[in-house]
Structure 1
């Protein structure tokens, strides 16, 4: 596929306010994806509820890295609430190396995926396309 024909997916990717290995690994997976262009609408450090609404609003899909919940449950809950309020499709990524996610997350997700890059990309594309 020609590069100029590729849709650029606007993603809000859940994050912490400090460096995190799981977040960095996820970004490297997206960067390595073939024929997939994306940009992150999230801004680290801007984490008030109003800031999060402004960041989630332009996103096509919200990605929740569920492994981050144990590190900052309040922040991740605010991100999930912003996505729900704006009725954005949510793709939940299982904690790295695990098979389960909290039931409440699974119920609100358009899709739940592991760390396989093609599965992640397919889930994003299907979640976005399902909303058209």
Structure 2
């Protein structure tokens, strides 16, 4: 018979620019997730406020890589502020291999998760209200 087409989930994944190692590693985790269709609306070369706002507006969920927050605080802070302004749920990804997340981000998050791709997908679906 026909395979059921999977719904595409629209994400904005925080970034600091093309080629960031943590961003690329996270991107790869999601690519390896079976039966999870998604699109990242973040464009690493476009970091002006108006550009970021357009990117975040088209996403259902903002995924914040908290490891980037320590290295690129102002940019990630701007992305989080825009997510809040646009009333987008925020999922906070712990820094790779660590449990602690920045408390100022933790209090804003709808969910906090590590790097396990199954847990990441489950958290995204949970925040979206999808079982």
Q: Into which bin does the TM-score normalised by the smaller protein fall?
A: over 0.9
Instruction: Work out the CA distance in 2 between the residues paired with 1:44 and 1:101.
Output: 23
- Cα distance in 2 between the residues matched to 1:3 and 1:100: 39
The number of residues matched between the two structures is: 129
Give 1:48 shift: 1.3
Deviations 1:28-86 (A, max 9, x none): 10000011000011111211111111000010110000000122111101100010000
TM-score normalized by the length of structure 1: 0.93
Counterpart in 1 of 2:3?
A: 2
RMSD: 1.4
- CA displacement at 1:18 relative to structure 2: 3.7
Q: Which runs of 5+ in 2 are unaligned?
A: none
Q: What is the SS of the residue equivalent to 2:107?
A: helix
What's the CA shift for 1:2? 3.2
SS in 1 for 2:124: helix
- Which residue pairs with 1:119 in the alignment? 119
Long gaps (5+) in structure 1:
none
Q: Map 1:41-120; keep pairs closer than 5 Å.
A: 41-120=41-120
* 1:39 alignment partner in structure 2: 39
Q: Mean Cα displacement is larger for which, 10-19 or 116-125? A: 10-19
